[in-house]
Structure 1
Amino acid sequence: MYAVREGFRQILRHPTASLATFFTALVSFTLLYFLGLLLWNLERVVQGLERELEVAAFLGRGADVEALLTEIQAWPEVGEVRLQTKEEALAQLVLDYPYLAEAKDLVENPLPDTLRLRLRTPEAVRQVAERLRGLPGVEGVEYGGELTERLVGVLSGSRAAMVLLVALLLLNTLFSVMGSIRLSVESRKEALGIMLLVGATRRFIQGPFLAEGAFLTLGAGLLAVLFGGALYRGLSGALQGLLPFIPVLSLQDLAQTGMAVLLLALFLGLGGAYLASRAHLREV
């Protein structure tokens, strides 16, 4: 109780430094939480596109279907390959566009037989498509991988940028906590010296400073989770209203990410307070 009570008092003794540390941590944790949710959501979108990614190889007349199936099934990147006959393709086309039902009896089926591939490694879609183009009997290849490849590139770049940004923000928060604790130590330098002379342990003396650092960062972390979660829920709800098929994170996902942010906040608060008080207690 002594550490908790003194931690609160030290925050009130230096309101300007405490507020500066609090708002620095609040900005850092809000960005960390919100950007983390966005990247996690983008990763789910990419994974969903990768699961649905399919490569279509259009066959010419006289193509040796059995030989092509045997060769393609042996490729390590390919998880599944199936033949869609031109009759099946036409039936699917009529199912998707019912107004073609009457026209299909008036003209010869123009659609080719098609091999449809699902890949074990979606990253290899471009290489698989190039290999398919070189096979005898394959007249054309089509795949919807351009969008997925772009999203994967955006995701990779966003991860790198976020790691750099988060590292800078967290370092800024750590040093801000250390500066606030240093001010508290300096203001009580004489009292701390007397406490050491009468036998108080360094851990006992450091307790209030650790509590001060934890209060500042945990309070900022909690507000950041509430604000960032509300912002994400609002944006994701609006997005699903426009694009219902886009996956969004559940409340459980938001809670798990929020707990991780709070643990990080506690670690930074305690770590910054410990480092600052330990360094300055040596001088005392």
Structure 2
Amino acid sequence: MYAIRQGLKQILRHPTASLATFFTALVSFALLYFLGLLLWNLERVVQTLEKELEVAAFLRPGANVEAVLGEIQSWPEVAAARLVTKEEALAELVLDYPYLAEAKDLVENPLPDTLRLRLKDPEAVRQVAARLRGLPGIEGVEYGGELTERLVQVLGGSRLAMGILVGLLLLNTFFSVMGSIRLSMESRKEALSIMLLVGATRRFIQGPFVVEGLFLTLGAGALAVALGGLLYRALAQAVQGLLPFLPVLGPEDLLRTGLLVLALAGVLGAGGAFMASRAYLKEV
């Protein structure tokens, strides 16, 4: 209780430095939480697209379907392969575009027989597509991997940029906590010297300052999680209104991420305060 009471008093004793540290931590944790949710959501989108990724191989007229299909099914990268006849393809097209129902009876079916493949590893789509083009009886190959590959590139670049930005912000928060604790200890220099002379342990003296650092960063972290969660949910609802098929993170995901941010806030607050108080007491 002594450490808690003294920690609160020290925050009120230097409101300007405390507020500077608080808002520095708030910006850092808010960016960490909100950008972390966005990147996690982007990963979910990429994973969904990868699961639905199919490779379509169009067969030439007269191709030996059984031989080609047997060859493809023996490949280790292929999870499943099925034949879609041109009649089935036309029926699917008419379901999507009903106005073609009358036209299909007037012209010959121009669609080819198609082999549709699902892969065990979506990253192998380029290699599988290249091998398909080399098979006899294959007229063309298409796959929807371009969008997925671009999203993966964006995800990788975003991770790097976020890592650098958040790393700099967290370092700024860490040193801001150290500076605030240093100022608190300077203001109590005489009292601390007397405590050391009468036999107070360094851990006893450091306790209130560690509590001070914890209060500053945990308070900022809690507010950042609350604001970041509200902003993310508003953005997610807007996106789902436009694109309802896109996956979004649920309340459990937001809670889990928020707890990680609070844990990091605690480590930074306690760690910065401990390092600053330890260095100061060594000097004294």
Distance (whole Å) between structure 1 residues aligned to residue 77 and residue 166 of structure 2: 36
Distance (whole Å) between structure 2 residues aligned to residue 251 and residue 276 of structure 1: 37
**Structure 1 match to 2:214:** 214
**Structure 2 match to 1:59:** 59
SS of the equivalent of 2:56 reads: strand
Q: What is the root-mean-square deviation in Å for CA atoms of aligned residues? A: 1.0
Deviation at residue 115 of structure 1 after TM alignment: 0.4
SS of the equivalent of 1:215 reads: helix
**Structure 2 match to 1:225:** 225
- Which amino acid in structure 1 is aligned with residue 269 of structure 2? G
**Structure 1 match to 2:203:** 203
Distance (whole Å) between structure 1 residues aligned to residue 174 and residue 77 of structure 2: 46
**Structure 1 match to 2:115:** 115
**Structure 2 match to 1:279:** 279
1:246 aligns with 2:261: no
Listed one character per residue, the Cα deviations across residues 185-212 of structure 1 (whole Å, up to 9, x for unaligned) are 1111221111111111111111100000
Return 128-137 or 98-107, whichever deviates more. Answer: 98-107
1:260 aligns with 2:267: no
**Structure 2 match to 1:141:** 141
Listed one character per residue, the Cα deviations across residues 229-267 of structure 1 (whole Å, up to 9, x for unaligned) are 111111111111111111111111111111110111011
Distance (whole Å) between structure 2 residues aligned to residue 239 and residue 196 of structure 1: 60
Distance (whole Å) between structure 2 residues aligned to residue 76 and residue 203 of structure 1: 61
**Structure 2 match to 1:42:** 42
**Structure 2 match to 1:27:** 27
Distance (whole Å) between structure 1 residues aligned to residue 164 and residue 81 of structure 2: 42
1:166 aligns with 2:166: yes
Deviation at residue 106 of structure 1 after TM alignment: 2.3
Listed one character per residue, the Cα deviations across residues 27-70 of structure 1 (whole Å, up to 9, x for unaligned) are 00000000000001111111111111111000001212122112
SS of the equivalent of 2:11 reads: helix
SS of the equivalent of 2:83 reads: strand
SS of the equivalent of 1:245 reads: coil
SS of the equivalent of 1:79 reads: strand
Listed one character per residue, the Cα deviations across residues 85-120 of structure 1 (whole Å, up to 9, x for unaligned) are 111111111221222222222222211110001111
- Which amino acid in structure 1 is aligned with residue 162 of structure 2? M
1:17 aligns with 2:13: no
> Aligned ranges for residues 78-89 of structure 1 at < 5 Å?
78-89=78-89
TM-score under structure 2 length normalisation? 0.97
SS of the equivalent of 2:44 reads: helix
SS of the equivalent of 2:135 reads: coil
**Structure 2 match to 1:152:** 152
Listed one character per residue, the Cα deviations across residues 4-29 of structure 1 (whole Å, up to 9, x for unaligned) are 01001111111111111001000000
- Which amino acid in structure 2 is aligned with residue 219 of structure 1? G
Deviation at residue 76 of structure 1 after TM alignment: 2.2
**Structure 2 match to 1:193:** 193
1:68 aligns with 2:68: yes
Give the paired residue count: 284
Distance (whole Å) between structure 1 residues aligned to residue 127 and residue 76 of structure 2: 12
Return 139-148 or 74-83, whichever deviates more. Answer: 74-83
- Which amino acid in structure 2 is aligned with residue 272 of structure 1? G
- Which amino acid in structure 2 is aligned with residue 199 of structure 1? G
